[in-house]
């Protein structure tokens, strides 16, 4: 006679090993249905992975091995992707029909860590089982290929009368960057129209396929690229990265005002370089001040998604092309970044289920 508890089942499944499956995410909450009748197990489980069918087979084999009395398993897998809401918009669908949500990572001030945050968020979302793409919209200063450890060039193919670009992929994130298309010694001397052309091409000519989130790593400020982006595609929303100090907050306000003016919802504020914990003494230093991100999010009635400390490993992860959330999965900072990515997905869901008139009231009028 077969008997087992939910936790015995989870513990058994945690022994599966597959490169697209993070067993740490398996918890009792992953079980959606659990019934045992006449040595038959009816199990429905929610899983974050792209290789659902392979994972399903591995799970079945594992359970059969671990529970000899088990005669039959009816296993249903609910994938993460199916529960991710989509931003419904006719114009977006005409340009990128397979992409559910588009999110810009922006800042007013340069060097606050947008690219670092964008890359780590993208990898964090992918680790949680979402299908993720990343557009490096910083045409003059692309940093995504370096941060994702890629020196490859994307392949192209002819489709009807146009050329399609196949995005590159690192750590389960599909991406495109001008840095992967041009020689890194060649100066980027492109002017306005060519720059906006490149941004548009990244949306229209890249074969993104089906994505839950397409993230844009923007250059600093509120210039041509930002404008082209918001005019080309109705974004699901923008995330604003700031450091805690006043000069950065002033620019964050400007960035927020710009997005609000062009009707792009701001999904939240992320404070980067929030503090530094000395590894030898454990003492906390507020290098750029403290509380700025939370202050500005209250002032601007925008959700605060979290604060990321200064950590040399975050910088190294960027320089070495191995994002912290992937390279050091057990670090506290990784947990912070994962948590921010989950808060962001909550905000996306709220936006997607809120009628746009309500959002405008929520944001208030900045005139």
Ligand X SMILES: Nc1ncnc2c1ncn2[C@@H]1O[C@H](COP(=O)(O)OP(=O)(O)OP(=O)(O)O)[C@@H](O)[C@H]1O
Q: Contact region for ligand X (CB under 6 A) — 19-27, 72-80, 162-170, 310-318?
A: 310-318
- The DSSP line for 284-322 is EE-TT-SSHHHHHHHHTT--EEEEEEE-HHHHHHHHTT-
Bridge partners (DSSP) listed for residue 57 = none
Contact flag: residue 116 with ligand X (CB under 6 A): yes
Smallest separation, CB 276 to ligand X (Å)? 8
Q: Contact region for Mg ion (CB under 5 A) — 73-81, 114-122, 272-280, 283-291?
A: 114-122
Whose Cβ is closer to ligand X: residue 132's or residue 310's? 310
Contact flag: residue 115 with Mg ion (CB under 5 A): yes
Contact flag: residue 212 with ligand X (CB under 6 A): no
Rounded to a whole number of angstroms, the CA Rg of the chain reads 22
| From ligand X, Mg ion, none, interface partner of 308 (C-beta below 5 to 8 A by class) | ligand X
Cα of 133 vs its chain's centroid, Å = 8
Smallest separation, CB 133 to ligand X (Å)? 18
Q: Contact region for ligand X (CB under 6 A) — 163-171, 176-184, 313-321, 345-353?
A: 313-321
| From ligand X, Mg ion, none, interface partner of 87 (C-beta below 5 to 8 A by class) | none
Contact flag: residue 146 with ligand X (CB under 6 A): no
Contact flag: residue 141 with ligand X (CB under 6 A): yes
CA pair distance 35, 52, nearest whole angstrom: 22
Whose Cβ is closer to Mg ion: residue 143's or residue 297's? 143
Residue 128 backbone phi and psi in degrees, to 5? -80, 5
Residues 128-147 vs Mg ion: string with x where CB under 5 A?
A: ---------------x----
Contact flag: residue 136 with ligand X (CB under 6 A): no
From the number of C-beta atoms within 10 Å of its C-beta (0-12, 13-18, 19+), residue 312 rates as exposed
Smallest separation, CB 119 to ligand X (Å)? 8
| From ligand X, Mg ion, none, interface partner of 258 (C-beta below 5 to 8 A by class) | none
Contact flag: residue 107 with ligand X (CB under 6 A): yes
Whose Cβ is closer to ligand X: residue 46's or residue 228's? 228
Bridge pairing between strands 173-177 and 132-136: parallel
Residues 82-101 vs ligand X: string with x where CB under 6 A?
A: --------------------
The closest residue (CB) to Mg ion is 115
Contact flag: residue 315 with ligand X (CB under 6 A): yes
């Amino acid at each position: 006679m077969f008997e087992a508890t939910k936790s015995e089942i989870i513990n058994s499944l945690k022994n599966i090993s597959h490169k697209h499956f993070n067993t740490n995410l398996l918890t009792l909450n992953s079980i959606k249905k659990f019934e045992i009748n006449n040595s038959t197990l009816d199990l429905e489980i929610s899983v974050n992975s792209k290789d659902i069918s392979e994972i399903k087979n591995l799970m079945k084999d594992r359970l059969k091995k671990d529970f000899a009395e088990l005669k039959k398993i009816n296993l249903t897998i609910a994938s993460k992707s199916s529960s991710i809401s989509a931003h419904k918009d006719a114009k977006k669908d005409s340009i990128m029909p397979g992409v559910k949500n588009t999110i810009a990572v922006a800042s007013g001030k340069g060097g606050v860590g947008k690219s670092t945050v964008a890359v780590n968020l993208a990898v964090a979302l992918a680790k949680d089982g979402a299908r993720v793409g990343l557009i490096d919209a910083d045409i003059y200063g692309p940093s995504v290929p370096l941060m994702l450890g890629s020196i490859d060039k994307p392949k192209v193919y002819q489709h009807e009368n146009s050329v399609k670009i196949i995005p590159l992929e690192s750590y389960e994130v599909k991406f495109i960057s001008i840095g992967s298309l041009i020689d890194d010694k060649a100066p980027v001397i492109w002017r306005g129209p060519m720059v906006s052309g490149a941004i548009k091409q990244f949306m229209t000519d890249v074969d993104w396929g089906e994505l839950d989130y397409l993230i844009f790593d923007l250059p600093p400020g509120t210039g041509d690229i930002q404008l082209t982006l918001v005019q080309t595609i109705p974004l699901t929303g923008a995330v604003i990265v700031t450091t805690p100090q006043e000069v950065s907050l002033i620019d964050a306000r400007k960035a927020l005002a710009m997005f609000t003016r062009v009707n792009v919802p701001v999904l939240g504020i992320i404070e980067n370089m929030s503090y530094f914990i000395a590894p030898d003494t454990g003492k906390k230093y507020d290098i750029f001040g403290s509380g700025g991100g939370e202050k500005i999010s209250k002032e601007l009635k925008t959700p605060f998604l979290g604060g990321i400390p200064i950590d040399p490993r975050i910088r190294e992860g960027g320089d070495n092309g191995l994002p912290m959330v992937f390279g050091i999965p057990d670090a506290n900072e990784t947990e912070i970044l994962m948590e921010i990515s989950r808060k962001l997905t909550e905000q996306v869901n709220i936006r997607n289920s809120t009628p746009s008139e309500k959002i405008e009231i929520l944001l208030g009028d900045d005139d």
